[in-house]
């Protein structure tokens, strides 16, 4: 089983407009990866975020990065919301991983 299985159903809500594109980016990268532990999953997501943005993923209010490859128009275009990922995105994916 490949890691991409946990990215199947997208969340209904996002933090910023770049979040769904980051989700898709991670899903594509995970298609050739074996299942990870919960801790490894979180480390991997944060490492991918850092490699794209040059910033560490934090839980600080209004901390985000604009990633040009995810910019497709709109006020927060390309914005990836750290707080959404640390409070909702990563916990959701870890929960899906645990339920496999």
Question: In the block, which residue shows the tokens 């050739």?
Answer: 32
This prediction has a pTM of 0.92
Digit-coded pLDDT (tens) for 59-98: 887 788 999 899 887 767 899 999 999 999 999 999 999 9
Number of helices (H) and strands (E), helices first, in the chain? Answer: 4, 2
Q: What's the chain's length in residues? A: 100
Asked if 7 contacts 93 with a C-beta cutoff of 8 angstroms, the reply is yes
Full residue range of the structural domain in which residue 88 is found: 3-98
Report which of 9, 37, 34, 7 is spatially closest to residue 23, judged by C-alpha positions: 7
Structure tokens given for 87: 């409070």
The residues pairing with 81 across neighbouring beta strands, listed in sequence order, are: 64
Q: How many domains does the chain have?
A: 1
């Amino acid at each position: 089983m490949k890691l991409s299985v946990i990215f199947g159903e997208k969340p209904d809500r996002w933090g910023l407009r770049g979040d769904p594109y980051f989700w898709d980016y991670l899903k594509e990268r995970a298609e050739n990866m074996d299942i990870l532990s919960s801790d490894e999953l979180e480390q991997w997501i944060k490492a991918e975020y850092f490699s794209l943005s040059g910033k560490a993923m934090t839980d600080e209010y209004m901390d985000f990065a604009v990633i040009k490859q995810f910019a497709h128009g709109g006020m927060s275009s390309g914005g990836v919301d750290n707080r959404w990922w640390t409070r909702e995105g990563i916990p959701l994916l870890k929960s899906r991983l645990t339920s496999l």
